[in-house]
Amino acid sequence: MSSRRRASPVPFLKATQFAWAVPQVIAHRLARMAVAGPVPSRRDRTEFLRMGTEKAAAFAESWNAMATEAFRVQQTISALWWRAFLMPWLFANPAGQTATHLRRAQRSILGKGFAPVHRRAVANARRLSRSSMRP
């Protein structure tokens, strides 16, 4: 039998939630823009402003999370190589261990970057599904 661990279903679940939430949010907001017409209400203007600021905030939070995680991973791999250099008798295959760390790092960096975008999209889908188009 293989000793490989199975990947967690969480990334697939989050990607599926994201894939369902985004079209709902877009459809709701486009319909809201169409109903608002040339003179949107105060509530509509607030929602339209929120669309842009939320995207910018999610983008910045995503990049910050990915950069922080990449820095953490880089430190871990650097420490691994230093230990392999200073105590070679403890490490049979530092390159193999590094490859394992890099595979995990890709998943963790992308996961950290995807989390803020996923969180906002799913929250928006919930919030907008409860609200009506007009006050």
| Residue-wise pLDDT tens digits, 101-116 | 888 888 899 999 999 9
* DSSP track, 4-33: PPPPPSHHHHHHHHHHHHHHHHHHHHHHHH
CA dist 117 and 61 (Å) reads 9
Q: Can you give the pLDDT at residue 35?
A: 92
Using the predicted structure, report yes or no on whether residue 19 has a pLDDT greater than 80.
yes
Stretch 5-11: mean pLDDT, rounded?
65
CA 97 to chain centroid: 26
Tokens at residue 60, please? 């910045």
**pTM: predicted TM-score of the whole model, two decimal places:** 0.74
Task: Residue 29: name the closest of 9, 12, 52 by CA.
Answer: 52
Instruction: Tally the residues of the chain.
Output: 135
Q: Taking the CA atoms of 90, 93, 95 and 96 in sequence, report the sign of the dihedral they define.
A: negative
User: Across the chain, what does the average pLDDT equal?
Assistant: 86
Using the predicted structure, report yes or no on whether residue 134 has a pLDDT greater than 60.
no
What percent of the chain has a predicted confidence (pLDDT) above 90?
A: 50
Stretch 107-134: mean pLDDT, rounded?
87
